[in-house]
Structure 1
Amino acid sequence: MPIQFQLYDMLTKPHMLDGVWKLLCRYDHAFIPPLSAREHSYQTDLTVRPTAKQEPKQYFETLKRQSFLLALDRDEVIGFMSFRTHFVSEDLNDGIETIYVTTVIVGEEHRGQGITRRFYEELAEIAKQENQPIMTRTWSTNDSHIRVLNKIGMQEIKRIKNGRGPELDTVYYRK
């Protein structure tokens, strides 16, 4: 059965929330800084240092109030993209309302199948309806995500040198 993509304004189904939670926990430390060290999905200070091993509970609580695109294999969540509409970034200081992608995770065993690209294609349709550009940010060594962003035509619009620590920039993209 092919992978299904579904849009949710807010996740309420327990098994889907559980699927997102499992992916967050599994890939917590793949993010810089780890999701468990963050207060929320759009904080501006990303130089936080992780403390003892903890789960990304606070981060998850902010995600639950956002919109989602889910990739499902039958009923299993194998990837997700969370986003906020009408978001204005404090770091950019340009006053532009965007659809802001806060988190993208695809399970390792499902990578290389174009799921992240498909998330952005689905989001592009939403962006047309909302008449808002798409924006996201990542860190300068997140090569796989940056590669996808470049392929879909997103442009780097701001780089904060050492925004996530020494030699680790925060990079904003918009389309």
Structure 2
Amino acid sequence: MTTVEYVSDPDRYSEAIKRLLVVVDDEFVPPLSAREGTTQRSGLSDAERETNAEVSEAIETYHEACLEQHLILCHDDGELAGFMSFRDGYETPELGSFQPSNYVSTIAVDPEFRREGLARRMYGTILSDLPEEITSPYVSTRTWSSNESHLSLLAELGFQEVETIPDDRGDGVDTVYYAVSRSEFE
């Protein structure tokens, strides 16, 4: 049975989170290892990496940024199946009136655990089961326009598209911001 829960001390899963980031690195646009951090807002289409050493160092930097945020973990008998990192009280002009928010910066599910509803369960936790002291009125995220599985899940959960930045991640690949009011889940 896979458990999904908010964790305040992720140290037990730190190495597993880093391993999962390496596994899913190339599934992101741009790859996580080509980013400057979890909330990078410019230069996404120019993100480049060249060597394995740079990938390893960049993943370590991204991993550290995830650990500095709040985490929702999916684990099955101690094995990490997925995680969501998020910021509370997040504000950025792209979110318009949907702020402050709990901003999902990263969500990843191990390929061996996909199609089990874990991403949906993590969103369920952030939408309705967080400690009160870190709960913001809205939940937001951003993704890329060709990330069909994530876009489909966001639509099913009632998220609204609030901003699109055309070609932000390359020719024909937009950055898209989504948000929803937490009050819809009370």
Q: TM-score normalized by structure 2?
A: 0.87
Computed over aligned residues only, the root mean square deviation of the Cα atoms, in angstroms, reads 1.7
For residues 21-48 of structure 1, the C-alpha deviation after alignment (integer angstroms, 9 at most, x for no partner) is 0000111111011111111100101223
Deviation at 1:92, TM superposition (A): 3.7
Contact 1:4 1:73 in 2 (8 A): yes
Specify the SS of the correspondent of 2:46.
coil
- 1:137 is aligned to 142
Percent of residue pairs identical: 33
How far apart, in 2, do the equivalents of 1:173 and 1:90 lie? 13
For residues 30-85 of structure 1, the C-alpha deviation after alignment (integer angstroms, 9 at most, x for no partner) is 10111111111001012233221412121111111001111001000010011010
Contact 2:98 2:138 in 1 (8 A): no
- 1:12 is aligned to 11
Which shifted more, 21-30 or 50-59? 50-59
Return the letter of the residue paired with 2:26: H
For residues 135-159 of structure 1, the C-alpha deviation after alignment (integer angstroms, 9 at most, x for no partner) is 0000000000111101111111111
Kindly tell me: are residues 17 and 168 of structure 1, through their superposed partners in 2, closer, same or farther at Cα, counting changes over 3 Å?
same
- Number of aligned residue pairs: 172
1:159 maps onto 2:164 in alignment: yes
Larger relative CO (CA 8 A, sep 6+): 1 or 2?
Answer: 2
Q: TM-score normalized by structure 1?
A: 0.92
Specify the SS of the correspondent of 2:94.
coil
How far apart, in 2, do the equivalents of 1:25 and 1:103 lie? 13
Structure 1: tracts of 5 or more residues without a match? none
Kindly tell me: are residues 107 and 96 of structure 1, through their superposed partners in 2, closer, same or farther at Cα, counting changes over 3 Å?
same
Which shifted more, 44-53 or 29-38? 44-53
Structure 2: tracts of 5 or more residues without a match? 181-186
How far apart, in 1, do the equivalents of 2:150 and 2:99 lie? 23
